[in-house]
Amino acid sequence: MSAHQYRSVFQPEAFKGQAILVTGAGSGIGRCTAHELAALGAQVGLLGRKIELLQKTALEIEEATGQKPWTCSADIRNEDSVKAAVGDFIQHHGRLDGLVNNAGGQFPAPLESLSLNGWEAVIKTNLTGGYLVAREAVLQWMGQHGGAMVNIIADMWSGMPGMGHSGAARAGMLNFTETAACEWARFGVRVNAVAPGWIASSGFDKYDPTTQRPQLKRLKKIVPLQRFGTESEVAAPIVFLLSEAAHFITGTCIRVDGGVPNARHTWPTRQAAQTPAIAAYNGFHLYSEPKATQNLDD
């Protein structure tokens, strides 16, 4: 395989003939997942707020696979925008087999300092927006033809101190996933979730570097596997849940977090020298480690 192609662990052309919509596809996990799906033969659609980022991802995919992805700039918090975007995707491809509900965002803030606008903006982006896209996928196509969707949430199992608005929204999205899996099973629609932990993605570079690097050094030591995850390690379970191998899986959530929720104060941090580290999987040929996580052990 060329160094300029995605190195997926899945069977080539596993998604040939399928049309899959990826939200938040302009960067990070969404961009990586769109690349892997396209490399496996899917006709991917890229939806997000910033058209310039979507166009960049589309050009990368075209150069790697020869296909020119559908792109659309839309605010998933706006019901009319979502209806129009999903409808346009279906009109363009003639079908909608899969949805990766990845778009989201948040900012660090203690609960007492959050304004109502700040709270509602994050809830609408991470919960309401995901619901609207999923609902329209069912109303406009999957309700008659079946399909699969994967909602991207986060490691919020013990709360999310410092980002309580995001934690509340992600927990809500998990509950929505479980409910939709039951209600929409009669349509032949499977609904699952993937919960990334600390992933070395472009989002790490958005925060203040003067306070971030000491924090990242501390967090890395908390992870039982003693490292951060890669974008590819999140894309892979998303792809699996969309695939035919997962046809009897619905209403579940796959954690991709290196075991952080299982860490306990009674168990000492593993020293890296005790056992060989479990190597990271990185199949994304265009992956670039964020500056924030480089040389943390120096």
> Residue for token digits 């390690």?
233
Q: Which residues pair with residue 192 across a beta bridge?
A: 150
Q: Which residues contact 116 (CB under 8 A, 6 or more apart)?
A: none
As a whole number of angstroms, the distance between CA 90 and CA 92 comes to 5
* Residue 127 DSSP code: I
Q: pLDDT under 70 in the chain at which residues? A: 1-3, 207-211, 269-276, 298
Q: For the sheet with 98-101, list strands across it.
A: 70-73, 43-48, 19-23, 98-101, 147-152, 189-196, 253-256
Contact between 37 and 239 under an 8 Å Cβ cutoff? The reply is yes
Per-residue confidence (pLDDT) for residue 20, from 0 to 100: 98
Pick the CATH number of 19-259+270-285 from 3.90.550.10, 3.40.50.2000, 3.40.50.720, 3.40.50.300: 3.40.50.720
As a whole number of angstroms, the distance between CA 193 and CA 210 comes to 33
Q: Within its chain, how far is the Cα of 47 from the centroid?
A: 13
207-237 tens-digit pLDDT:
666 667 778 888 888 899 989 999 999 999 9
* Residue 70 DSSP code: E
Contact between 42 and 100 under an 8 Å Cβ cutoff? The reply is no
As a whole number of angstroms, the distance between CA 194 and CA 60 comes to 25
Helices (H), 109-149: 116-123, 129-137, 143-145
Per-residue confidence (pLDDT) for residue 210, from 0 to 100: 64
77-127 tens-digit pLDDT:
999 999 999 999 999 999 999 999 999 888 889 999 999 999 999 999 999
As a whole number of angstroms, the distance between CA 113 and CA 165 comes to 11
Per-residue confidence (pLDDT) for residue 1, from 0 to 100: 42
| Total-model pTM | 0.93
Q: Which residues contact 217 (CB under 8 A, 6 or more apart)?
A: 296
User: How many other C-beta atoms are found inside a 10 Å radius of the C-beta of residue 28?
Assistant: 20
Contact between 82 and 74 under an 8 Å Cβ cutoff? The reply is yes
Q: Within its chain, how far is the Cα of 209 from the centroid?
A: 24
In the chain, domain spans: 19-259+270-285
